């Protein structure tokens, strides 16, 4: 590789820790549904919404890797944010507090 090269390596398969993290979230929260969001050069964000309303996220190097990880983990994948999925989400009190601090500080 030449000095100063800015090429990057794209993974074709998801890392095992990404898949196991998704499976762990599903196990802890009674299943899960996922939505994949493209976040530019950083890759893709997998937002997981548990059966109990808890939510979390994981980051993958690309949307293809994110889809493959969700498929391997056996999580249901939604194409977009549907009303039923949004209504299932239950933000924690800590999240509400942090959001209100951001609004008040502006």
d(CA 37, CA 59): 10
Residues 33-65 have pLDDT tens digits of 899 989 888 899 898 888 888 888 899 999 999
Min mean pLDDT across 3-12, 23-32, 92-101 is at 3-12
pLDDT of residue 1: 47
Answer whether residue 104 shows pLDDT above 90.
Answer: no
Q: Can you state the percent helix, strand and coil of the chain, rounding each to 5?
A: 40, 20, 35
Is there a contact between 73 and 23 (Cβ–Cβ < 8 Å)? yes
Residues 76-97 have pLDDT tens digits of 888 766 666 666 666 666 655 6
| Beta partners for residue 34, in sequence order | 48, 77
pTM of this prediction exceeds 0.75: no
């Amino acid at each position: 590789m030449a000095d100063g090269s800015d090429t990057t390596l794209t993974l074709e398969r998801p890392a095992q820790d990404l898949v196991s993290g998704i499976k762990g979230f599903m196990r802890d929260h009674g299943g899960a549904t996922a939505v994949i969001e493209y976040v530019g050069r950083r890759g893709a964000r997998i937002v997981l919404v548990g059966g109990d309303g808890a939510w979390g996220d994981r980051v993958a190097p690309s949307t293809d890797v994110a889809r493959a990880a969700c498929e391997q983990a056996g999580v249901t994948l939604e194409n977009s944010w549907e009303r039923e999925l949004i209504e299932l989400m239950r933000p924690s009190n800590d999240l509400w507090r942090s959001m209100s601090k951001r609004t008040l500080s502006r």
